[in-house]
A and B are shown apart, each in its own frame.
Chain A
């Protein structure tokens, strides 16, 4: 399981790396850093608080480059906070980056539509990115041990509030970005940030 996770993550990262040329490394690197910082933000929900994940947003902003970006952010989390070890790095990257890429392909085309559609698409993107992540966790646990089905359903239900909040925040963030810096978002031809460097 750990090995297949690592292999898949390596494949995804390889594709992501192919997609970024050296001109974009500074950009991806700094966005990866922002992703890391965003995951430190704790948002209150009832008496507790959750920290943001934002993998949906990263997917929207980076496309396939989300793979290496998330891998790097996770590696840094490991080094700074000792979250997880080396062996789970691959699986964790899959859990966060694969949904990011899937959501990018599902929802990026919708961003060119009207305001309502954008709001819905962005909400869906944030929501599904976490949902798919939880589903992958569930699948991973099921492959390890069939009896884990209960745990897996638990994982998905436990993340329901997280999904809703991620959805809301992703939606608001995307609306904000559309007003402030529309060139950061993918355009309808599906190429993120092509225009960003030439805008000035």
Chain B
């Protein structure tokens, strides 16, 4: 149920320093999110597509992951063009479809898909542990990193706990349905997960103290310097600049 399908690979993207990837994933996503002009948005889409291709990920799986968002986007396409007021683009019977509604839907679609693909290509191509260490090196507060690594360590354990409990319920003849009994059962199941988690947390904490935990969590990972990191950084900086320029070409034309 929980896995990191893209974390392992030998592509050029996988081999780039996760710190560089995280920084540019953030910068590019923000730049895309605040862009409105279609030139910029299509550039972002193309760029994110290139990144996904460069990462040599299983395309079927990438598309499957994108479908989750596509469902939501389809809903937007259904709602926005109909409810948005403005210049009427076309009419289907009594229903009018407005141009601003269509434009907005298109913008949101382009943005979401590009940002998601950037995320897949640049962030999910490192395992969460590596990402945590990269965040530590980037100066993210140590507590957050510690929290992240701690949670990551235990989600698998707790998921097993959950599976055990639901197996136990199934063995006792529990079939979920829309009734109070089902909700009560799930509530007790969740409660049990939390109780066991809390107990485990106590044990883990005591074990950590026994091993001399003094409030500092050491990240020993090292990220060796390599020329390709800087080439990547250069390419991404240029892309970022192009993206920003495309968004502001109007302003640039006015200035010259």
Q: Are A37 and B162 in contact (CB under 8 A)?
A: yes
Q: Are A36 and B155 in contact (CB under 8 A)?
A: yes
Tell me the bound Cα distance from A54 to B198 in angstroms. Answer: 16
- Chain A residues with Cβ below 8 Å from B26 are 86
Contact of B191 among A31, A37, A41, A180 (CB under 8 A): A180
- Chain B residues with Cβ below 8 Å from A38 are 190, 193
CB distance from A45 to the nearest CB of B (A): 6
Q: Contacts A27-B205, A68-B143; is A34 near B30 (CB within 8 Å)?
A: no
Q: Does A57 have its Cβ within 8 Å of any Cβ on chain B?
A: yes
Q: Are A44 and B176 in contact (CB under 8 A)?
A: yes
Q: Which of B89-97, B119-127, B230-238, B245-253 is the interface stretch? A: B119-127
> Interface residues of B: mostly helix, strand, loop or mixed?
helix
Q: Contacts A22-B215, A32-B151; is A169 near B190 (CB within 8 Å)?
A: yes
CB distance from B92 to the nearest CB of A (A): 19
Q: Contacts A31-B194, A44-B176; is A150 near B158 (CB within 8 Å)?
A: no
Number of A residues, CB within 8 Å of B: 69
Q: Are B144 and A31 in contact (CB under 8 A)?
A: no
Q: Are A172 and B184 in contact (CB under 8 A)?
A: yes
Within A39-93, the residues touching B (CB, 8 Å) are 40-41, 43-46, 52, 54, 57, 61, 68-69, 71-73, 75-76, 78-87
- Chain B residues with Cβ below 8 Å from A68 are 143-144, 147
CB distance from A98 to the nearest CB of B (A): 18
- Chain A residues with Cβ below 8 Å from B204 are 26, 30
Tell me the bound Cα distance from A151 to B78 in angstroms. Answer: 11
Closest to A26 in B: B205
Contact of A72 among B147, B188, B213 (CB under 8 A): B147
Q: Contacts A76-B155, A86-B119; is A25 near B146 (CB within 8 Å)?
A: yes
Tell me the bound Cα distance from A46 to B26 in angstroms. Answer: 40
Mark contacts of A119-152 with chain B using CB atoms, 8 A cut-off: 1 yes-contact digit, 0 otherwise. Answer: 0000000000000000000000000010100110
Q: Does B118 have its Cβ within 8 Å of any Cβ on chain A?
A: yes
Q: Does A103 have its Cβ within 8 Å of any Cβ on chain B?
A: no
Q: Does A156 have its Cβ within 8 Å of any Cβ on chain B?
A: no
Closest to B100 in A: A147
Mark contacts of B87-125 with chain A using CB atoms, 8 A cut-off: 1 yes-contact digit, 0 otherwise. Answer: 000000000000000001000000010011011100110
Q: Contacts A45-B178, A168-B183, A176-B187; is A33 near B68 (CB within 8 Å)?
A: no
CB distance from B109 to the nearest CB of A (A): 14
Closest to A28 in B: B147
CB distance from A67 to the nearest CB of B (A): 10
CB distance from A25 to the nearest CB of B (A): 5
For this complex, 5 residue pairs linking A to B, each with C-beta atoms less than 8 Å apart, are A25-B150, A26-B150, A33-B151, A33-B152, A86-B123
Q: Which A residues lie at the B interface, using CB under 8 A? A: 2-3, 13, 17, 20-23, 25-34, 36-38, 40-41, 43-46, 52, 54, 57, 61, 68-69, 71-73, 75-76, 78-87, 145, 147, 150-151, 154, 165, 168-173, 176-177, 180-181, 184, 193, 196-197, 200
Beyond the given pairs A30-B154, A72-B144, 6 more chain A to chain B contacts, judged by CB atoms under 8 angstroms and listed by A's residue number, are: A37-B162, A44-B178, A79-B131, A81-B65, A169-B183, A176-B191
